[in-house]
Every structure is written in structure tokens, then in C-alpha cells.
Amino acid sequence: MRLRKRAFGLLVGAGILFLIGTSVQAGWLDVLAALLLGALVSGLALPLAALRGLSVELDVSEEAEQGMPTIVELRVSGAARGVRRNVTVRDAHLESVEALVPPIGRHERIDVTTLRTPRRRGEVVTVHAELRSNAPFGVAERRVRARIDARTLVLPRVYPLGSLAFVEPIATNARAVHEAPRRGQGPDYLGIREYRPGDPMRHVHWALTARHGRLMVREFEEERTRRLAIVIDTERDVGEEWTPLDRCCSVAASVLDAATAHGQGARLIAARPGGDVDVLPRADRGEMFRWLATLQPSGVALETVLGDLGPAAVRGIQTIVIALPVWGEAGRPPLDGEIRRLVQRGTRVVCVLVSSARAAADADPLVERLSASGAEIHRWGAGDDLAEAMSRQEIRA
């Protein structure tokens, strides 16, 4: 229970009227003072029952997109007896919202539709909402926490990029990531089976052949689409909303969306907390977006992640897109050697530099060094359009 300024005003007013009425022997002033005290006492007592028996639920979607308005239904159910008035509900699911609920009758349910815009990527879990009432006179306010269970996974923001120079349309009606793999000649390993006449001897798995006593061969997936890999720098993150890591995940999601729209497969690579480098090689679009939504700062330098990309991780990959924030040259290990190694392997490397207004000047030396290593550079500054940034390549002599 919290007293409001009105309570002190009623108390002071009643005291003044009582003193004046006593001094001038005016009984009607004593009556007014008693009325003010009665309003004060009832205003303190009635809020204790104003929230009794109420329950709150949130009807939320399982997934939402960062920065996009999402509908959340707020449901308040009435008590078994009495009418509840002047009830306010506040919760912070996706976005902090405070709603004044109309009078609630017995066993009545009031639905309040709210429109909320999630500012951060990731799983949002809300376990309580706050009920407040200062009925009937606004003298005191009672606050009660109601338990709820609301969960929403906020996916990274996706920007339409249109045609990208490093994403070439594929002349096939098959979707790159939704169909099951088919046996054939390609770079991706599919499984092991017994030898059949006509199988190339270079595919023989000699270790398993010796173990089973019969000829075993490796089986590969048919190469039907071009593929690209997207590497996200998860070393660190700062800020409360729309952070550098959030923006890097938006770059990855937008490139992924453009690639799948043109029939290309994609592979996601990022470091996880604990030091492991996680590779998502085959998944549908929704699973990849959910994977991006759960990325957290790992403390693993991007140079280490790129150094761990062995032949198996980039097998069948024609293009590697690297989304990295600009922290300044002093705070980043040199990437030149790892970029040059990937380029010499015949892989096209595209670096998307995510920079804030404060770090814009720090990007110039990094652009020059990465360009000299053979990478294509795109810079997405604060307030810039991502599609325009991806269509404009940074060139340094």
C-alpha cells in the first residue's frame, strides 16, 4: 500500500477544519472535517479489496521480429463477487505497457489489445504483471504482482536487400534448404554404405572396410545449389537495444533471406559462450532465424573463429559473408592473415562492417586493411539503409 499526496491533503484539510470549527464553535466545520477523515479512512481500506480475486493472462505469439510491432492480448478476469473499478495493469513483455482496464464484473473477462515493438533480439520471458488500483478516492494505491507465463522468441530484423552481387540466381526450381539431400556427386558428406559395382575407388573408406571385412564407400550429396557461409562476430556486445550484435544478426538474416530467395543454400557460423564454434550447416529458414535469435556474446575473437574454419566447415562454399562490428583498431586482433588465407583458397570473402556514428572514423583503417587482403567491403553505418549499403562497395587504394 502506497499513500498518495491526496491522503496528506485530506488529513491536513480535516485537521484545519477541525481546529477552525473548534475555535469558532461552528459544528458544520466539524462535520466537514469528519467527512474528509471518512474519505481518508475508506480510501485506505477499500483498495485492499479492489484487486482481490483478479487474474491476468497474456496471449502472446511464439515468435516476433525485432523492431516490428506485435499484437499482445492482455486478459483480466474478474472475481467471484463484486465489481472491480479503476484497475491498471502493467507488464514489460516485449515492451513496457500500462493499460487502464474498464470496470470488471463478476466472472467477467476483459481483453485489452496492445501493440508492442520489441527492441532486443532473443527470448523474452515474463513471469509477472503488476495490478494497481487507487479506487475509490485516489488516496492510497495498492500494487499486487500476478504470476503469468509469457514467452516470445524475438527474431532478428530482416531487411529486403534485392539483388546482391555475391548472390547469383540459380537456374533450378528446387528450394535450396527445404528439400531432403539426394545422393550424387557433390562436396557434402552424406553417409557410408557397402561398395557397389561402378563406385569410384577414391570413395572407399578403408578404416571401416578393415573393421567390417567388406568394402565400404563414402556417399556424397548431390550438388544442386551454390552455397554461401555467413560468419557472425559474437566476441562482445554493448548497449540496451539495437546493439552491434543485434545489427550483425540482422545482416546475417537479411543476406540469408536474399540467398534462399535466389535458390542458394546457406551455412551459419558463430562462436558460442564457452569457446565453441557453432556451425549450422543444414536447416530451414525458420530454424536459421531462431539460431540467430539465440546468439549471445561469446568472448571469442573473430580471428579465432576464422582460423577454425577448416576444409570441412567451408566445403562446397563459394562465398563467405562476415558480419562484424567496428570496435576500433586497438580493440581488434588483425584479421588480414585469415582473410588472405580464405581468399587464396578460392573463396569469395565479403565483409559487412557494422559501425555506429561514434565508431565511423575507426572503420577507415579497417576497410583499407581488409581490402588489401582481398575482401569485398560494405559498411553499414548508423541510420543508413542496409540495402543501399550492401549495393555500395567500399574501395580503398
Domain ranges within the chain, ordered by starting residue:
2-45, 53-155, 189-220, 227-391
Question: Which band of pLDDT confidence, cut at 50, 70 and 90, is reported for residue 183?
Answer: very low
Q: What is the DSSP string of 207-222?
A: HHHHHHTS-EEEEEB-
Q: What is the DSSP string of 112-154?
A: EEEEE---S-EEEEEEEEEEEE-TTTSSEEEEEEEEEEEEEEE
* CATH level 3 topology of 227-391: Rossmann fold (3.40.50)
Q: Cell 540459380 maps to which residue?
A: 170
CA distance 131 to 147: 11
More confident residue, 39 or 114: 114
* Of the listed ranges 105-109, 118-122, 172-176, 321-325, the one predicted with least confidence: 172-176
Q: What is the pLDDT of residue 370?
A: 86
Q: What is the pLDDT of residue 125?
A: 95
Q: What is the pLDDT of residue 170?
A: 47
CA distance 305 to 312: 14
- The three grid cell numbers given for residue 10, joined into one nine-digit string: 485530506
Specify the 3-state DSSP secondary structure of 101. strand
- What angle, rounded to 10 degrees, do the helices at 336-344 and 363-372 form? 30
What is the H or E stretch that residue 33 is in? helix 27-45
Q: What is the pLDDT of residue 328?
A: 65
* CATH level 3 topology of 53-155: Immunoglobulin-like (2.60.40)
CA distance 70 to 112: 14
Global pTM value: 0.75
* Of the listed ranges 172-176, 266-270, 273-277, 357-361, the one predicted with least confidence: 172-176
**Per-residue model confidence as pLDDT tens digits over 111-154:** 999 999 999 999 999 999 999 887 766 676 788 899 999 999 99
Cα dihedral 89→91→93→94 (10° resolution): 90
**Per-residue model confidence as pLDDT tens digits over 98-109:** 998 888 888 899
CA distance 165 to 103: 59
Average pLDDT over residues 210-228: 74
- The three grid cell numbers given for residue 82, joined into one nine-digit string: 463484486
CA distance 53 to 56: 10
